[in-house]
Structure 1
Amino acid sequence: MDDAIQTEPVRQKKQKTAAGGSKAGTAERRGTDVTRVSEVSLSSKRAATAPIAVLLAAAVLLAGCWDSREVNELAVVMAAAIDQADEQNIELSVQVYNPRTAGGGGQVGQMSGGSGGGAGAFVVRSAVGSTMADAMSKLQEKLPRQIFWGHGEVFVIGEAVASKGLREHMDFLLRSPEIRDKADVFIVKGKAKPLLTLPVPLEGNTAQTMGKLADIHLGVQVSIINLTRMLAGSARGAILPLVQLSQSEEKAGDSGKIPFMTGAGVLKNDKLIGYIDVATMRGAMWVRDEIELATVTVTPTRTERGDVTVRLVRSRTKLVPRIEDGKWAITVESEAQGDILQNTTNVDFGNPLLAGRLEQDFNDQIERRMTGAIEKLQKMNADVLGFSQAFHRRYPKEWNKVKDRWDEQFPHVQATAVVKVKIERHGLSSSGAVRPNDEVQAE
């Protein structure tokens, strides 16, 4: 009985404590709910103000371009020429677009003589300076508009400048943010400026003409960035397309001269060391895997007369280096596919055996082109073929031993060319189109 009386107050105390705890929990939950409501309300306000902040920022940022320039305030350079003025200075010439005559009144192709004025589709201005940057600043003094390099497609380098060295000039071409590093670079015998001052047929100016020459891949195509990589490569060798002016058949005098490719200039340690002809240049392009357009004509070995011309539509070349018993050798492996453009022989190349013989004739001719180019460049001791990179990738340890004397090693590398041409299509006739059947050699 006494125990029951004593436990009753304890039970009442526990109930009160439980009630108090329940009230406290309810109050805590209410506080949490209020906090959550406040957070939701704050998030809603932030979500509502976010688009307004974005619009305000856009209104500030899109109000205008701080560095914008109007076209009618610019002297747009289409091409540039670099010549040696004297022992210490260079001459920078630019071909500037003339919008007043190109769009209407003037005749496309007219221009100003030398660095003077004139009413034509373009004008040429020149200035002399100790560096490219110095010459450009002086050139700006001769133009009422700000020089703009963003549309410059062509840079032509004179022979004297290339012989003296290109490293300092390449620094300016790469450092300027306006100059396109994909602009094409050419070399010319003698002065480069005359290429800019003459109007040419079809395209109207030399910048467009030489740009098209580069695009059709009849010769090597070298951009500013390509030239930089070659000069900074392990072999320190580079190749540049060589252009010169040719007299057209339609017009006499300077107005009828047009630029065309006549080979390539070879550079070593950033200096011009010599030239190669078109045949050697094309052979080098085969080795460098740069052939995109090629038409090859051969006289089949087992025919009495006639030629076969094939247009190559695809080609791929790879370099396979090897080092055996201390001897350095490299195999140039090339595969190509082509179509017969013309057949003036009496042979029916629908016969697989005769077609195989014809393919071997083409293999032999292309191999001779490659071998001739390699031998010529080895005599010049200028590795512009990528041999050094091939050995570096395949034999890095051996390469490190000779990299400082690659000039001594390169001329002694044994090079072999292996070509496989596949003739895919013969045209509408596998033999001569107008040759009687009794004259066709079918086997």
Structure 2
Amino acid sequence: MKKLLLLTLALTLFMSGCWSRVELEERIIVAAVGFDTAKDPDKIEVTAQIIMPGQLGTTDNGGGNSKEAVNVYTDTGYNVFDALRNITRQTGKKLFLAEIGVFIVGESLARKDIGSVMDFIRRDAEPNIRSWVVVVKGRAKEALETQLTVEKVWALQITKMIQAAKFNAKAPMIDILDFEKATRSATTRPVVPVMTIGQEKETSQNSMYPSRKLVLGGSAIFKDYSLVGCLDEGESRGFLWIDGEVKSGIVVVPHPGGEEQLMALEIIRASSEVKPAISNDGNMSIKIKVNEEGNIGEIRPDHIELFYPENIKMLEKAKQTVIQNEVLAAIEKAQDLNADIFGFGEAVRRKYPKEWPQYEKKWDELFPLLDVQVEVEAKIRRTGMIINPQPD
């Protein structure tokens, strides 16, 4: 009996494995999906970048036409599911959505509403809710049709651009799951990286897709699934300072000697603390403390004696000023948009759980007027391989 049971289980696993292989052969892998407004206001335009496995190992030797490793298909529908299913009229195969690395939202649709987009991604069993989400200035279709040079699968290059944001701290990183968590929070609002499409370059004769530059920088702020405003790169880093998500990057500061030169100070580590306080009369305030450590990356002109501690202190103060200005700029923009992107409300709830209900009801009234104090401590740990200036 036991042997029969084991045999049955083995056959079941074998049969299911064969079925999965056959099913996969009848489907095509989607690397990225983009969403835009359609000409028909009752519809949505969806673009899918499809991986062509047979072309991944090919190279263009200069003779004949080189086939792309991806193809891009666009169609419309009354909702996302309808539009994706309509794309199969062009592909002849079902779409396999489990390998999607990034979802791209066109700015026009983002300003309108992306609630239906997020509903489909959460509801369908295939899409990975750990996939990245990005807003593009322009149309998502244009971004997905852009021929990129580093990766044969262009969507993979976009994914790596998002992951590389941690090296310069000029844009946030957020996946579908964290976007939904922030959206469903009583007070916190999600922040999404912004991608810009550059001017079209000369299209290769071997490609049907235009060559353009895609650049990641800045942030888009959402409220109730709609884009309400954007942060520039400096404001975005201000947000990341507060959020404790600055891992690396370059702080550019004015030369203390007064010359029209700038210096580059590398960020090697940073942390932040957000401390809410409620006074006896019920007034609320937030105190932010940012701690940063870094190295000197570049100084020109280089006649600064780094051997003297007072000169290091001077550079640290200049860096503190830049960081503080970025933080204050982010706070000002968020308060102007009445969007608590920093999680201040959540910080108050955790520290004052009993008092929080009375503040939660009127958080939209309190946040724009919230007293926020910022303190920055920046340290320079290393000066690089040069201590004294070069002789004239």
Following superposition of structure 1 onto structure 2, how do residues 52-201 of structure 1 map, counting pairs within 5 Å?
A: 52=3, 55-56=6-7, 58-65=9-16, 67-70=19-22, 71-85=24-38, 86-104=40-58, 119-201=67-149
1:238–1:266 CA contact under 8 A, matched in 2: yes
Q: Which residue of 2 aligns with 1:7?
A: none
1:216–1:293 CA contact under 8 A, matched in 2: no
1:150-169 CA distances to partner (integer Å, 9 max, x unpaired)? 21111111122212212222
What CA distance in whole angstroms lies between the structure 2 residues aligned with 1:63 and 1:397? 57
1:411-443 CA distances to partner (integer Å, 9 max, x unpaired)? 1111122111121111122233x245xxxxxxx
2:244 to 281, 289, 305: 289
1:139-194 CA distances to partner (integer Å, 9 max, x unpaired)? 23332222111211111111222122122221110122211111111112332111
Q: Which residue of 2 aligns with 1:223?
A: 175
How far residue 359 of structure 1 moved from its aligned partner, in angstroms, is 1.4
Which one is further off, 365-374 or 185-194? 185-194
Question: Is residue 189 of structure 2 the alignment partner of residue 237 of structure 1?
Answer: yes
Following superposition of structure 1 onto structure 2, how do residues 382-393 of structure 1 map, counting pairs within 5 Å?
A: 382-393=339-350
Q: Which residue of 1 aligns with 2:206?
A: none
Question: Is residue 336 of structure 2 the alignment partner of residue 379 of structure 1?
Answer: yes
1:106–1:121 CA contact under 8 A, matched in 2: no
Aligned AA (1:298): V
SS at match of 2:357: helix
1:101–1:107 CA contact under 8 A, matched in 2: no
Which one is further off, 381-390 or 161-170? 161-170
SS at match of 2:147: coil
2:195–2:216 CA contact under 8 A, matched in 1: yes
SS at match of 1:357: helix
How far residue 353 of structure 1 moved from its aligned partner, in angstroms, is 2.9
Aligned AA (2:45): E
Q: Which residue of 2 aligns with 1:9?
A: none
Greater relative contact order (Cα < 8 A, sep 6+): 2
Q: Kindly report the root-mean-square deviation, in angstroms, between the aligned alpha carbons of the 2 structures.
A: 2.5
Aligned AA (2:381): E
How far residue 371 of structure 1 moved from its aligned partner, in angstroms, is 0.5
| Compared CA separation, residues 308 and 189, structure 1 to 2 (3 A) | closer
What CA distance in whole angstroms lies between the structure 2 residues aligned with 1:203 and 1:105? 12
Aligned AA (2:286): I
1:15-56 CA distances to partner (integer Å, 9 max, x unpaired)? xxxxxxxxxxxxxxxxxxxxxxxxxxxxxxxxxx86x46743
1:236–1:268 CA contact under 8 A, matched in 2: no
| Compared CA separation, residues 107 and 255, structure 1 to 2 (3 A) | farther
Q: Percent identity?
A: 26
Question: Is residue 317 of structure 2 the alignment partner of residue 367 of structure 1?
Answer: no
Q: Which residue of 2 aligns with 1:27?
A: none
Question: Of Structure 1 and Structure 2, which has the larger fraction of its residues in helix?
Answer: 1
Question: Is residue 290 of structure 2 the alignment partner of residue 334 of structure 1?
Answer: yes
| Compared CA separation, residues 399 and 311, structure 1 to 2 (3 A) | same
SS at match of 1:240: strand
Structure 1 residue runs without a partner (length 5+): 1-48, 112-117, 437-443
2:162–2:216 CA contact under 8 A, matched in 1: no
2:56–2:152 CA contact under 8 A, matched in 1: no
How far residue 58 of structure 1 moved from its aligned partner, in angstroms, is 4.8
What CA distance in whole angstroms lies between the structure 1 residues aligned with 2:384 and 2:343? 37
Aligned AA (1:156): I
2:230 to 261, 272, 275: 275
